[in-house]
Structure 1
Amino acid sequence: MLSLLLLAVCASQAHAALFESPTSELLNTTYDIIIIGAGAGGAVMANRLTEDAGTRVLLIEAGGSDFMNLNISVPGLSSTLTHSKFDWNITTTPQIGLNNRTVAYPRGFVLGGSTATNQMIFCRGTKDDWNRFANVSGDDGWSWEKLIPFIVKVDNMTAPTDGHNTTGQFNPAIHNNSGVVDISVPGVSLAIDQRGLNASQELSSEFPFNLDYNSGNTVGFSWTQSTIHNGHRVTSATSYLAQAFNRSNLDILVNTRVTKLVPVGKVSGKPDLRGVQFAQFANGTVHTLHAAKEVILSAGSVKSPHILMLSGIGDSKHLKSFNITPLVDLPVIGKNLQDHVFLGNPWLVNANFTLDDVHRNATLSAEQLELWKVNGSGFLGLPPTNQFNWLRTNSSVFSSLNTTDPSAGPTSANFELIISDNFASKRVALPATGRFLSIVSNLISPTSRGNISLASADPFDLPLVNPNLLGTDVDLAIMRSAVRAARSFIAAPAWADYVVSEFGAFGEAQTDEELNAYIRDQSDTVDHPIGTIPLGLGSKGALESDLTLKGTVGLRVVDASAFPFIPSGHTQGPTYILAERAAALVRASLSQRPHGV
């Protein structure tokens, strides 16, 4: 169904048109720009390009339009979205680093894409992350300093839901209050918050307080910043698209999959890929539209390379094995997949209440939902964590393995410790009794590289997804150091009368060998795939520095697949920032072209 917001906007005199199917009106319209995918990248592009009233844009989304669904809007219900109608329902190939287990690989399937299904943490990335992107691409425009104008275009720092004094929780001087995406610090205080602060003070040399991890330097203990406003999830649909809905030069087509890109000719010997084929059902009618100026591929790190391979762009040997005629031989397509690794580490605690009570007690959960419906308050309006640590692994770990630090530099963490007021695991169900504190260790700077490959030439078959989680000894060593750091943090005096004991398999893993077995058995994905169509010079890069696809004309890629290295932070923020600069690059390019070209 259509959201109330969309219906309200579309009641105005000038508005975007939303199509549930390809009508004759849509098929007979000439679009300057066709955008594929309505996640962070695609929504930014749709918004910024339609600011020019003379540019007509079509946005095609595979999922539906129900982006204001209750399960999406309530932050505390985010766990219900995996394997729902809002998920592509991808499962990985067996992961060697996880004892050959397969894991669910959630990707958003609705207007808003994965911003509608993620855990809402907002990170910009670090100075070293962006400067490394600039170096790899040969374009200083991707450096931290040059990106600051685009960073603040995203950023709209808002008051927390409960209106508390936020002094000491972030640095207002580095934030904007007129950007597009509403961001806030946690809107409900938890009993463990003060203990976390005290532990940071007691162990300040190891866990130094960092007033604002979005300063460009993440390292230390910080309060989280999340895409939550008044207790409601903020997505690219409720932010960027909500603004663009007011413009008559935007059309949105949902419930429609792009099956391939088709050349409309050649320019200087390169295929001009401004043709887009799409259908709503397997074996259904296939339609084709040609963009007058550009196609923007923003289908995400899984689907963007999938669409390119179906179009004959990728490793020619792989394509030929599925009887797909190669159009452009770009072996790097799909080959640079990187992701963060999730591991929940639980302690049994001496507490009268933790968020486990909400998760376990249906009556209490229903009461909290009713409270949320009134004004967004209560525990269901919280992000998954109020506080976290971003930390670097001791250099001796890397020297012992005869390797170098894989992070982008000293402002970037090797791992993250997420402090959770509940039992946090993707492998083990919440125990029937007991209250818990978890420190989720997140491998932030992995060395493992995976891939996306074809399962068949049928565009309605999902591709094979192999993130190669914990695929190297280096990654395993970083995770061991992360678990030990979590134990050091909980050993602070601040937790002495609160923590009872380590719980379950976590408590049994003490030696390196035991930790290795525990980590491999209990780890999962953090759902941050990137890098499958990377920026970069030479054969390691699929994209030029302006995000145009090498060997082609008329096509850019604007999503997390463009990152050559995974940002040392949660990925929605960097994707918004990347898209803001991409939009400026496209608009500058369009303004330089002769009329009608």
Structure 2
Amino acid sequence: MWSSNLLFSVAFLRILGTFHVALAAPIHDSVDEIDNIHFDFIIVGGGTAGNVVANRLTENPKFSVLVIEAGPSHEGIINSEVPFFAINNWFTQYDWNYTTVPQPGLGGKSAIIPRGHVLGGSSSINFLMYTRSTREDYDRIAKITGDQGWSWNSLFPYFKKNEKFVLPADRHNITGQFTPSVHGFKGPLAVSLPGFETPIDSKVVTATQQLGGGFSYVEDYNNGKPLGVGFLQVTVDENGRRASSATAYLAPRYLKRPNLHVLVNAQVSRLIQTSRSKTPSFLTVEFRHRSRKRLTQLTAKKEVILSAGAIGSPHILLNSGIGDAKALNALGIKPLVDLPDVGQNLADHSAIANPFVALGNDTFERIRQPNVTAQLLKEWKKSGTGPLVNTVASLVGFHRVEGADIPNPDPAPGPETPHFEHLFANGLIVPNAFVPPGQPIFSVATAIVSPSSIGSLTINSTDPFAMPLIDLALLKEESDRRMMRAALRHAFKFLTAPVWDDYVRGGAGDLAGATTDEQLDEYINAEAGTFFHPTGTAFMSPKGSKKGVLDPDLRVKKISGLRVVDASVFPRIPSGHTQSCVYVIAERASDIIKAAYT
């Protein structure tokens, strides 16, 4: 899914365009504006996690906080604001445009990794899916780290604290589509359900009733036990607009705080050691900004918090001399702190956007016709309604493989955690070179959400701004490939429900006719990619453990005054889309940091 050979409609993109309005005053785009301010905390990365921490820390007026974001402001970017336009941010200035090294598990091809290069980070360009993962996922983190604060029961109040569940844009009756007791209604981040009904929605629900068993309908998969099929929850507000960490945690009422500062277009190169005691500190941040020809350095009084993501944070650590000492020495970087696990333990969810021939013509393919898109955009701008308020899918399913397809050991933490996921979409999820233009499509995407394959992030240059080497190890382990085949066959089985008899006619493109292991493997090699959920590259381990990068309080081992708060902290990849998981990590991290200074 989503490999590097995507084709885009040029006309479609031209109609949408990307435009940027002037920055609001509290968001700085010049180093001169903050030169004479002293900061207690400097947060590197204004993404999903970083903005949460900035917001929560500045609730205390005694704390002065600076967020340094490599990308521009999120304000006025239409392709970020409109949920359905999310994919239009790929291969633009709002995307880091990362690519993996060749992946043996994908037949030797590379895969793209869209990551947000904009305020809000990937929460500003992702597909807006809000899935918390399972109770067992978090209980495993608590067990691995020895900190019960990371358990499901301990984090559940933080999920509610993060969330403001709202009615969808079309204000339809959502009784039976979610469980109110599971959700929060007063948090900063808007979460809702699909705000425009598509022709497949009722058919998917009917199929769950006709098939039952593992396909049974689940009212709310965010209760910690998600197995089954239910309506997708998304970070879209009641007005049909994307809710991101930037719109939620850096909303105008928060940016008015005199102790909160945000600097955009500032890419961090490294951290600089500020003390040489037995436990060294790295409180100085070095970065480049377009307003200055030279590199700039700023020093925090209390802490530096890395929130640059599972790719950015280990990249900065390695460039700072924090990592495997032998590897850094060989590269010509002076090792300052020997932490061999920096950049290791990288995991992601491999995925395929499986297209099937649809017999109806009211699919995304119609919406993507330039003249139709233009009219729908007018509707969205006027009323915040219509098909553009949705992301690419309306319903989601979480499932387990059975029998011989279950790996040994099982990478899932328990029997209520899925091995794979389906996304049900009323059209092509992403452009596909093998599907004829305009062909109506029904998609059932598959993703391995409990993978065994583990990759790494390394560097091969002393230039801190050079791209890192990213190996997601997608489908590297045969057990993951076996699960992917099982997931594909599970999708085929879903389409045997009678409700699809007059709507779906077999696979489209190179999925057509693929049934044997050999044919499915050929299809997987051609089409598989990533769900864009890199995790684990600065993972937590018990305090005092020689393994890992962080203690359970998210402090970098062997260092004082430096923490990491983002998707890199997970010792095992969660089984859901990682956006919600990162929000909850950041909410608890904020309280941990506050408690250290009270």
CA distance in 1, matches of 2:383, 2:403: 48
Q: CA offsets, 1:523-577, max 9 Å, x none?
A: 0111110100001133332100000000100000000000111111000100000
Match of 1:440 among 436, 439, 445: 445
Residue of structure 2 in register with 1:422 after alignment:
427
Residue of structure 2 in register with 1:238 after alignment:
247
Match of 1:478 among 474, 483, 491: 483
CA contact (8 A) 1:219 1:412 kept: yes
CA contact (8 A) 2:274 2:284 kept: yes
CA distance in 1, matches of 2:492, 2:552: 43
**Code of the aligned partner of 1:313:** I
Match of 2:561 among 531, 535, 554: 554
**Code of the aligned partner of 2:425:** S
CA distance in 2, matches of 1:221, 1:142: 27
**Code of the aligned partner of 2:281:** D
CA distance in 2, matches of 1:283, 1:101: 39
Match of 1:227 among 235, 240, 244: 235
Q: CA offsets, 1:346-385, max 9 Å, x none?
A: 21121131111112x1111111111111121111111111
Q: CA offsets, 1:496-546, max 9 Å, x none?
A: 111122223212211112112211221011111010000113333210000
Q: CA offsets, 1:173-193, max 9 Å, x none?
A: 111110110000000011111
Task: State the Cα RMSD in Å.
Answer: 1.7
Of stretches 97-106 and 129-138 in structure 1, the one that deviates more from structure 2 is 97-106
Residue of structure 1 in register with 2:527 after alignment:
522
**Code of the aligned partner of 2:507:** E
Change (3 A) 1:350 1:427: closer
Match of 1:574 among 562, 569, 581: 581
CA distance in 2, matches of 1:565, 1:395: 23
Shift in Å at residue 423 of structure 1? 2.2
Residue 32 (str. 1) matches residue 40 (str. 2): yes
Residue of structure 1 in register with 2:325 after alignment:
316
Shift in Å at residue 18 of structure 1? 2.3
Aligned residue runs from structure 1 range 240-389, under 5 A: 240-242=249-251, 243-267=253-277, 269-280=278-289, 284-359=293-368, 361-389=369-397
Identity of aligned residues (%): 39
- Give TM-score scaled by structure 2 length: 0.94
Of stretches 238-247 and 478-487 in structure 1, the one that deviates more from structure 2 is 238-247
Shift in Å at residue 428 of structure 1? 2.6
CA distance in 1, matches of 2:517, 2:245: 42
Shift in Å at residue 410 of structure 1? 2.0
Residue of structure 2 in register with 1:507 after alignment:
512
CA distance in 2, matches of 1:541, 1:217: 29
Runs of 4+ residues deviating >4 angstroms: 1-6
Residue of structure 1 in register with 2:11 after alignment:
none
CA contact (8 A) 1:67 1:116 kept: no
Q: CA offsets, 1:425-479, max 9 Å, x none?
A: 4653652242110100011111111111113111121111111111110110110
Change (3 A) 1:284 1:100: farther
Residue 461 (str. 1) matches residue 470 (str. 2): no
- Secondary structure of the residue aligned to 1:233 is coil
CA contact (8 A) 1:63 1:255 kept: yes
Change (3 A) 1:155 1:283: closer
Match of 1:585 among 579, 592, 598: 592
- Secondary structure of the residue aligned to 1:584 is helix
Shift in Å at residue 28 of structure 1? 2.3
CA distance in 2, matches of 1:282, 1:340: 38
Residue 98 (str. 1) matches residue 103 (str. 2): no
CA distance in 1, matches of 2:171, 2:292: 53
Shift in Å at residue 148 of structure 1? 1.4
CA contact (8 A) 2:436 2:509 kept: no
Q: CA offsets, 1:11-35, max 9 Å, x none?
A: xxxxxx3221211x52222110000
CA distance in 2, matches of 1:244, 1:388: 34
**Code of the aligned partner of 1:484:** R
Residue of structure 1 in register with 2:6 after alignment:
none
**Code of the aligned partner of 1:247:** R
CA contact (8 A) 2:271 2:284 kept: yes
Match of 2:217 among 209, 214, 224: 209
CA contact (8 A) 1:341 1:523 kept: yes
**Code of the aligned partner of 1:405:** D
CA distance in 1, matches of 2:214, 2:529: 26
CA distance in 2, matches of 1:277, 1:85: 22
**Code of the aligned partner of 2:289:** Q
Aligned residue runs from structure 1 range 403-422, under 5 A: 403-422=408-427
Residue 172 (str. 1) matches residue 180 (str. 2): yes
CA contact (8 A) 1:33 1:57 kept: yes
CA distance in 1, matches of 2:336, 2:432: 42
CA distance in 1, matches of 2:563, 2:51: 15
CA contact (8 A) 1:35 1:46 kept: yes
Residue 196 (str. 1) matches residue 201 (str. 2): no
Uncovered stretches (5+) of structure 1, i.e. residues with no partner: 11-16, 592-597
**Code of the aligned partner of 2:476:** G
Uncovered stretches (5+) of structure 2, i.e. residues with no partner: 1-17
- Secondary structure of the residue aligned to 1:119 is coil
Shift in Å at residue 304 of structure 1? 0.3
CA distance in 2, matches of 1:395, 1:147: 33
CA contact (8 A) 1:116 1:235 kept: yes
Number of paired residues?
Answer: 577
CA contact (8 A) 1:533 1:542 kept: yes
- Give TM-score scaled by structure 1 length: 0.94
Residue 148 (str. 1) matches residue 129 (str. 2): no
Match of 1:107 among 97, 108, 115: 115
Shift in Å at residue 238 of structure 1? 0.1
CA distance in 2, matches of 1:372, 1:353: 18
- Secondary structure of the residue aligned to 2:411 is coil
Match of 1:136 among 144, 149, 165: 144
Shift in Å at residue 259 of structure 1? 1.1
Residue of structure 2 in register with 1:488 after alignment:
493
CA contact (8 A) 1:2 1:66 kept: no
CA distance in 2, matches of 1:582, 1:219: 29
**Code of the aligned partner of 1:515:** L
**Code of the aligned partner of 2:587:** E
Of stretches 278-287 and 294-303 in structure 1, the one that deviates more from structure 2 is 278-287
Residue 185 (str. 1) matches residue 190 (str. 2): no
Shift in Å at residue 314 of structure 1? 0.6
CA contact (8 A) 1:395 1:405 kept: no
Shift in Å at residue 411 of structure 1? 2.3
CA contact (8 A) 2:21 2:75 kept: no
- Secondary structure of the residue aligned to 1:549 is coil
- Secondary structure of the residue aligned to 2:546 is helix
**Code of the aligned partner of 1:289:** L
**Code of the aligned partner of 2:416:** T
Q: CA offsets, 1:259-307, max 9 Å, x none?
A: 111111134x011111111112699412211111111100001010000
CA distance in 1, matches of 2:454, 2:560: 29
- Secondary structure of the residue aligned to 2:502 is coil
Q: CA offsets, 1:188-210, max 9 Å, x none?
A: 01111111001001111120111
